Amino acid sequence: MIRLTLTEAGEFAESILRRHGFSEAYVRAIAATVVAGERDGCASHGLYRLLGCIATLKAGKVIADAEPELVDQAPGLVRVDAHGGFSQLAFQAGLPLLCEKARSQGIAALAINRCVHFSALWVEMEAIAEAGLAGLACNPTQAYVAPAGGSRPLFGTNPLAFGWPRSDALPFIFDFATSAVARGEIELHRRAGKAIPEGWGVDGEGRSCTDPATVLDEGAMLPFGGHKGSALSAMIELLAGVLIGDLTSAESLAFDAGSKALPYHGELIIALDPQRFLGADTERHLARAETLFSAIEAQGARLPSQRRYSARAISLAEGVQIPRALYEDLKGLLEAGRG
Amino acid sequence: MIRLTLTEAGEFAESILRRHGFSEAYVRAIAATVVAGERDGCASHGLYRLLGCIATLKAGKVIADAEPELVDQAPGLVRVDAHGGFSQLAFQAGLPLLCEKARSQGIAALAINRCVHFSALWVEMEAIAEAGLAGLACNPTQAYVAPAGGSRPLFGTNPLAFGWPRSDALPFIFDFATSAVARGEIELHRRAGKAIPEGWGVDGEGRSCTDPATVLDEGAMLPFGGHKGSALSAMIELLAGVLIGDLTSAESLAFDAGSKALPYHGELIIALDPQRFLGADTERHLARAETLFSAIEAQGARLPSQRRYSARAISLAEGVQIPRALYEDLKGLLEAGRG
């Protein structure tokens, strides 16, 4: 393993992105995202993702200097057209107006369109919670998941995230895929020649299947939680695909046309302002949320982001460690982009 | 079984509610709700619920003629104080302004406070979808469910519902409890002396438990879908409890103080207007939702409300059937209320 301070990791990420021609705003935004993932122990959203970012750029599937375009569409609705850039700048462009609208209207939505997306949604939920707001976010991905009772890929792994502000602690945040597991988890089982548990996927006839290759090549992944998770995944296709006028997961996969680039689609974010809902009683009610969190922890259950925050505390003190092979691959990218 | 036309079922329900002193507006609204449940094959939300309504009234836990109070709280936020009445009139009172705000703002929220609640949320999602809007609704209930990894009741069965308008079909609607199953399902196993499947509940030590009595009396029910369902249930406590300044499931159970009345708490409903999001392109994008629904059905999977809509079609043609014992109990209520 190679140990890097967070500053070193950030500079390393920035230098790779810069070498390959991303504009300075994207360099900083993408580096911040992957360092946040690495810092929080989410290796799959960490420095590793730079490989996908550069591959997507080389495949011509992301614009290295796209300028997000902000549209004040309605009193409760902000739209940002990412114009084919990564989602981070679009989110940054829309966030201030989203927060302003949530504070004046009580609730507001931000639709991000035409972005290339790989950021974990908790990064965005954290920004919204830090602004004192509650947030919800979701997006389609690419069609790998069958609806419950079905047999063929239709839904994406469609993440759903929620954030809640806390004045004396890091925010309450969850961010989960509506698939039973990440696609990468099934890939790992295939590589290791191991069977997957029941409930992760089906074969081409819709039968429960424990062979990872069959699930990935002929069948489909399954949603979490049976028909309930499946219903949530359909909702995400509708709200963060159709309603915002952007691609569904099936359309996103077709758009990709086998390039295996990072997915191109939209995202919906909703912000709600406790102050606007609760007025002078806000502090008293927010204290009741703390009572709820204490009651969860008192019985030995974890708050959703607890593991991530523990990893963060360690990384802030000790830096992060990445596998030497990944480090060499990333250094290779730095060389490849030179000159 | 006793067969009733929907008109007969409605008149029967109304006569019972009227006898016991509900104001005419509640008589009609509650009867419509329970007939809709019976009609759609949801017996647990059907005429059976009248027993709970009357018991709750007799226990002094609902106001028979409460006047809902509408507050235009913010440009995107409607609040209705139910003043201790059943939720139906509060929802009716808030719906027109919620729809108006969603159409002008793009997104709007309705907070219902201090209501007694037993209505399935799909009834409300249907009203919102019929207005051409997408809707989301959720509410806490009473604390019977442990967080994933815990051992003691903290969350309610916390339903989450979603509705999507369709121009040539009944709306796409789901409405599910975030508990693994309904509490009544575990009660039925206890009465039948049968073990419950793994995953429905835990004992007082948080261990997986298949004895229904232990789960109900010493342990707790479990959320659906492991830590993901648990996170959703916590979100509902926060959004439809804390954020709207109303009771959490733990507080609602404490408020009930063992009376076993229908639960008293609040509810949050969010409405989004496809027209405001999509403008002139609305029809084209809504057609893409139909493509998604067709793709779900083409692989033999069901849309979430399909079973309910099938039952509805039969009930509209043939009326509903209720067990004779229930019919006699309800007739008993009619007599008991006389004079």
Nearest CA in chain B to A173: B231
Q: What pLDDT does residue A337 have?
A: 63
Nearest CA in chain A to B287: A242
Q: Percent of chain A having pLDDT more than 90?
A: 94
Phi-psi region of A151 (alpha: psi -120 to 50; beta: other; left: phi over 0): alpha
Q: Which residues from A are below 8 Å from B302, CB to CB? A: 149, 227
DSSP structure class, residue A106: S
pLDDT at A202 over 80: yes
C-alpha B31/C-alpha B18 separation (Å) is 10
Check A272 against B239: CB less than 8 A apart. yes
Tell whether B6 is within 8 A of chain A (Cβ).
no
Q: What pLDDT does residue B336 have?
A: 79
Average pLDDT, chain B: 96
For residue A249, which phi and psi values (nearest 5 degrees)?
A: -65, -35
Total beta-carbon pairs less than 8 A apart between chain A and chain B: 220
C-alpha B21/C-alpha B30 separation (Å) is 13
Cβ burial of A211 (10 Å; 0-12, 13-18, 19+) is: middle
- B61 HSE (CA, 13 A, CB side): 22
Instruction: Tell me how far apart the 2 most distant CA atoms of chain B are, in Å.
Output: 60
Structural domains of chain B sorted by starting position, each given as residue range(s) with its CATH number in brackets: 1-58+305-339 (1.10.1530.10), 73-179+223-304 (3.30.1370.60)
- In 3D space, the residue among B98, B90, B145, B94 whose CA is nearest the CA of residue B119 turns out to be B90
| Model confidence pLDDT, tens digit, residues B124-177 | 999 999 999 999 999 999 999 999 999 999 999 999 999 999 999 999 999 999
Number of other residues whose CB lies within 10 A of the CB of residue A217: 11
Q: Which residues from A are below 8 Å from B135, CB to CB? A: none
Question: Which run of H or of E encompasses B81?
Answer: strand B77-81
| Model confidence pLDDT, tens digit, residues B173-231 | 999 999 999 998 999 899 999 999 999 999 999 999 999 999 999 999 999 999 999 99
Q: Which two tokens stand for residue B270?
A: 């969010």
C-alpha B271/C-alpha B111 separation (Å) is 11
The ipTM (two decimal places) reads 0.97
pLDDT band at B339 (very low <50, low <70, confident <90, very high): very low
Q: Which residues from A are below 8 Å from B235, CB to CB? A: 162, 164, 174
Mutate to test the interface with B, among A167, A242, A246 (most CBs of B within 10 A): A242
Check A270 against B107: CB less than 8 A apart. yes
Check B296 against A147: CB less than 8 A apart. yes
Q: Which residues from A are below 8 Å from B224, CB to CB? A: 225-226, 228
pLDDT at B296 over 50: yes
| Model confidence pLDDT, tens digit, residues B259-278 | 889 999 999 999 999 999 99
Residues 76-115 of A with CB under 8 A from B: 76-77, 104-109, 111
Q: Which residues from B are below 8 Å from A234, CB to CB? A: 172, 174, 292, 296, 304
Report whether B36 contacts B123 (CB < 8 A).
Answer: yes
Q: Which two tokens stand for residue A192?
A: 């290791």
Q: Which residues from A are below 8 Å from B234, CB to CB? A: 172, 174, 292, 296, 304
User: Among partner residues A239, A292, A301, which is closest to B148 by beta-carbon distance?
Assistant: A301
Report whether A267 contacts A112 (CB < 8 A).
Answer: yes
Tell whether B197 is within 8 A of chain A (Cβ).
no
Q: What pLDDT does residue A119 have?
A: 85
Angle at alpha carbon of residue B251, lines to B250 and B256, rounded to 5°: 100
Check B292 against A231: CB less than 8 A apart. no
Q: Which residues of A are catalytic?
A: 44-45, 185
Catalytic residue list contains B267: no
- In 3D space, the residue among A138, A150, A84, A147 whose CA is nearest the CA of residue A111 turns out to be A138
Residues 286-325 of B with CB under 8 A from A: 286, 288-289, 292, 295-296, 299-302, 304
C-alpha B309/C-alpha B313 separation (Å) is 6
Number of other residues whose CB lies within 10 A of the CB of residue B153: 20
Residues 50-79 of A with CB under 8 A from B: 73-77
In the block, tokens 């849309």 appear at B303
